[in-house]
Structure 1
Amino acid sequence: MHILIATDQHPESLGGAQVSIRLQKKYLEKAGHLVSIAAPGMHREHVQDDGYLELPSFPITFDREYALTRPGRRSDRALDDLVAQRGRVDVVHIQGDFWGAIIGLRYARRHGIPVVLTFHNNMEFGLRKTVPFPRLVTKLLLAIEGRSLGGQQSLLRPDAWRYLNELALRADAVTAPSRHFAALLRQKGVAQEIDVVRTGADDDVIDDVLANVEREKGARPTLVWMGRMSHEKRILEFLQAIERADVDAEVRLYGQGLLLSKAREFVAKHRLRDRVVFAGKVPYRDSLASIAAADALVQTSIGFETQGMTVFEAAALGTTSIVCDPEIAAELPEGVYVEPADESIDALADTLRHVVEDATSDGAARPSPHASESFRQSAQTARMLEIYERVLEQTPPTAASTV
């Protein structure tokens, strides 16, 4: 079948959802399917792929990493022309919450194609953390959504959950990447029938990394942290915990973001350069290799993540995770993670201290990668294919409509 994925950001830009989409594309193609990804054109150098359908866009961040495509007739025509070169679409898979979702839904309606919708983001939490007037922004988004999709259908009160409900009402199936996020969506009235399909770890890379990983006995313990350096990820709180823990370990920070300069300033001011390394943005395989070689992966956000991508990868690699978010911890099998006593910086510092002490004395047993086979992408792709086939069986052919 031909699956059209519509998303808010280019799949080669930085972000967990983008990693997830690239992996889904790879394993759907390995299963013999054609995948096209509709996304805003990226305004910096990036990997080219025939399956990337780059729509007219303009950059929205200073580093030109992220861009926006205005939903409307121009983007409709552009997408129709690009898809025509790839062949008839069987399923539209929406993997975005904003312009990507609207553009994808408009395409599906024009052509009478069933829709699978994956929610990746806790939009209500994200807006509160990232914009100065979240209620005003939400009202604006609801107005744009209603106008772009031909009117409002939701009966929920006008907030971020209503915005997501408007999207869900136009889908034939809804999925979420974790049990805890699916439960939250149900609680808020966004959708009731929700399939949980996790983001998996790349089987090929996992096998390659495990075959080649080198862990030196007696070496200085290593902790890794990965993600966007932003307030909701709690990067500065993590650095404070490192200072308080005062352990002899190398802490490698992978990623970029708006708080990178502040993080560097903190490290310099508190004389942590002998412990903290800013490793930047690295290829996917290198990130997994660093997790595999580390004594622990540290996950620091609380209440924001809708899935635990890096901790799932760590589990598949046999590396312990320090998990601050109890909702993410609940997604993991016993024995692959440790959890601070509470949400405080002191509790995280205590956990860092214990993990490093165990690593120094070789007292920490590593989890077995075989206990986490379900975290591999091949298993998750098989689950998603079942959902695609289900909506195709349930959706009778319809004539294309206009928007």
Structure 2
Amino acid sequence: MNIGFFTDTYFPQVSGVATSIQTLRRQLEAQGHRVYIFTSTDPKVKKGTLEANIYRFSSLPFAGFKDRRIAFRGAIQALQLAKQFDLDIIHTQTEFSLGLMGKFVARRLKIPVVHTYHTNYQDYLHYVANGKIIRPAGVAVMARGFMVGMTGVIAPSIQTFNVLTEYRVESPIEIIPTGVTVSHNETEDHSAELRTKLGLTPDTPVVISIGRIAFEKNIEDALSAFAAVLEDIPSAHFVIVGGGPAMATLQEHVQALEIEAAVTFVGEVNHGEVYSYYRLGDVFLSASTSETQGLTFIEAITADTPLVAIESPYLKTVVTDVAIGTLVDEPEELYEPLKAYLEAKLAQAPLGDAQARERVLYEIDERTFGRKVLDFYSEALAVYNEEEDTEAADAKDEEYARSFLRNPFRKENHD
């Protein structure tokens, strides 16, 4: 099968979306399929750089979200490439420029187009004019408008499925959690060297946070919980991996809490180093309430690092034992389980049933993910109807695109 991924976000951008796409690509190719990625240009990739089966289109930073890109041309070139590759199906991964381009190409080639809805944009509106232009109710208009005409939609979690149902998305929706690598070998684990590099002893209890340093991640609350634990366990250390717009604010918060000596900001790291950082931690801590699934959580599970996080419908399905982690309702409740895991580290007495983790690994395995998406593609190909009213579909997409260039989310549009 020849498959085209259309996405505004891909490596070297650091995001869960990029990681999910890379994971799926690897699994599809491992089963003999060909995957072509249509994405935006990136300042970190020199013009003219040859990347196998990756095609980049001229783009600009997205307003209010400077490390994300929006392509401003290339639809005809993308159509020509898609014809050349004889694509069987198109899978869009974002709802903006490349997503619309993917719909356009699929319509011209008369092939099915499916979509993964990765992001709950209601948690990100503050990036665009402090939330004054796009309102939460407008997100439903945007999502519903973009997914008109999709052969099918993938929701990475039950939480996302419920959101799309509330938005009244009409295309068939299937829940397929994004998978991760669950089988690692010892040569991938460099956590001991990292401890030495960071000035930590083998006995130092380490809290780890990995991900984008953004306001919606509520890392300030995680730091406040850590500061409280530090009074009981003064040898503890918090390692924060990642970069993003909230970095300066977060550093100021650390200073205000007077815990600078116990917190290390590592910044962004290469993807190949991430597993070692998970292994470095004795507990993975998150106060985020914006995750539709949260790849960092399941990556922590594969590294055998218990997590402490805010409860969500998805996490409730995988965090089934204290060996895997502990979920709380409010950030103020992070203190007790965080302290418990660090005390367990000091006592060399892991909490919970070690076998419980093994039981969840199958569902989050990237191989399971790849098989489920392939089955979804087969269903899409079987039900696809070539007799779509192309002019009407184009008109709807044009209206969607125009609405994003002005302010479409007026009160009267929120039907």
Q: TM-score w.r.t. structure 2 length?
A: 0.82
Give the corresponding residue for 1:327: 313
Mapping of residues 8-23 of structure 1, within 5 Å: 8-23=8-23
Is residue 132 of structure 1 aligned with residue 118 of structure 2?
Answer: no
Is residue 166 of structure 1 aligned with residue 145 of structure 2?
Answer: yes
Give the corresponding residue for 1:53: 55
In structure 2, give the amino acid aligned to 1:14.
V
Mapped to 2, the partners of 1:182 and 1:361 lie a distance apart of 42
Question: Using a 3 Å threshold, how does the CA distance of structure 1 residues 337 and 258 change in structure 2: closer, same or farther?
Answer: same
Give the corresponding residue for 1:151: none
Tell me whether 180-189 or 335-344 shows the greater mean CA deviation: 335-344
Give the corresponding residue for 2:375: 386
* Counterpart contact for 2:286–2:309, Cα < 8 Å: yes
* Counterpart contact for 1:209–1:292, Cα < 8 Å: no
In structure 1, give the amino acid aligned to 2:306.
T
Mapping of residues 259-274 of structure 1, within 5 Å: 259-274=246-261
Mapped to 2, the partners of 1:256 and 1:104 lie a distance apart of 30
SS at match of 1:228: coil
Residue 325 of structure 1, CA deviation: 3.2
Mapped to 1, the partners of 2:375 and 2:108 lie a distance apart of 25
* Counterpart contact for 2:309–2:334, Cα < 8 Å: no
Give the corresponding residue for 1:249: 236
* Counterpart contact for 1:301–1:325, Cα < 8 Å: no
SS at match of 2:134: helix
Residue 63 of structure 1, CA deviation: 10
Give the corresponding residue for 1:25: 25
Mapped to 1, the partners of 2:157 and 2:388 lie a distance apart of 35
SS at match of 1:331: helix
Question: Using a 3 Å threshold, how does the CA distance of structure 1 residues 118 and 343 change in structure 2: closer, same or farther?
Answer: same
Give the corresponding residue for 2:351: 365
Query: Could you list the per-position Cα deviations for residues 50-85 of structure 1 after superposition, in whole angstroms to 9, with x for gaps in the alignment?
Result: 221101112347996432113xxx421131244355
Mapping of residues 2-401 of structure 1, within 5 Å: 2-45=2-45, 49-60=51-62, 65-70=67-72, 74-85=73-84, 87-127=85-125, 129-132=126-129, 134=131, 136-137=133-134, 159-191=138-170, 193-203=172-182, 206-209=183-186, 212=189, 219-246=203-230, 247=233, 248-302=235-289, 304-335=290-321, 336-339=323-326, 341-344=328-331, 346-365=332-351, 367-368=354-355, 369-371=357-359, 372-397=361-386
Mapped to 1, the partners of 2:98 and 2:112 lie a distance apart of 16
Mapped to 1, the partners of 2:202 and 2:110 lie a distance apart of 61
Tell me whether 11-20 or 381-390 shows the greater mean CA deviation: 11-20
Query: Could you list the per-position Cα deviations for residues 280-331 of structure 1 after superposition, in whole angstroms to 9, with x for gaps in the alignment?
Result: 11122311122134211112211x1111211111222322111213334313
Question: Using a 3 Å threshold, how does the CA distance of structure 1 residues 22 and 48 change in structure 2: closer, same or farther?
Answer: farther
Give the corresponding residue for 1:153: none
Note the residue ranges of structure 2 that are not aligned, 5 or more in a row.
196-200, 395-415
* Counterpart contact for 1:186–1:192, Cα < 8 Å: no
Residue 269 of structure 1, CA deviation: 4.2
SS at match of 2:369: helix
Query: Could you list the per-position Cα deviations for residues 203-234 of structure 1 after superposition, in whole angstroms to 9, with x for gaps in the alignment?
Result: 5xx42258757679961111210111111101
Q: TM-score w.r.t. structure 1 length?
A: 0.84
Mapped to 2, the partners of 1:262 and 1:138 lie a distance apart of 25
* Counterpart contact for 2:24–2:366, Cα < 8 Å: yes
* Counterpart contact for 1:112–1:400, Cα < 8 Å: no
Tell me whether 219-228 or 389-398 shows the greater mean CA deviation: 389-398
Mapped to 2, the partners of 1:191 and 1:301 lie a distance apart of 29
Question: Using a 3 Å threshold, how does the CA distance of structure 1 residues 92 and 363 change in structure 2: closer, same or farther?
Answer: same
Q: In percent, how many aligned pairs have the same letter?
A: 21
In structure 2, give the amino acid aligned to 1:159.
G
Query: Could you list the per-position Cα deviations for residues 101-124 of structure 1 after superposition, in whole angstroms to 9, with x for gaps in the alignment?
Result: 211111111211101111001123
> Superposition RMSD on alpha carbons, in Å?
2.8
Residue 390 of structure 1, CA deviation: 1.1
Give the corresponding residue for 1:147: none
**Count of residue pairs brought into register by the alignment:** 376
Residue 97 of structure 1, CA deviation: 1.8
Mapped to 2, the partners of 1:192 and 1:93 lie a distance apart of 14
Residue 237 of structure 1, CA deviation: 1.8
Query: Could you list the per-position Cα deviations for residues 217-267 of structure 1 after superposition, in whole angstroms to 9, with x for gaps in the alignment?
Result: 961111210111111101122222222222321211111001112222332
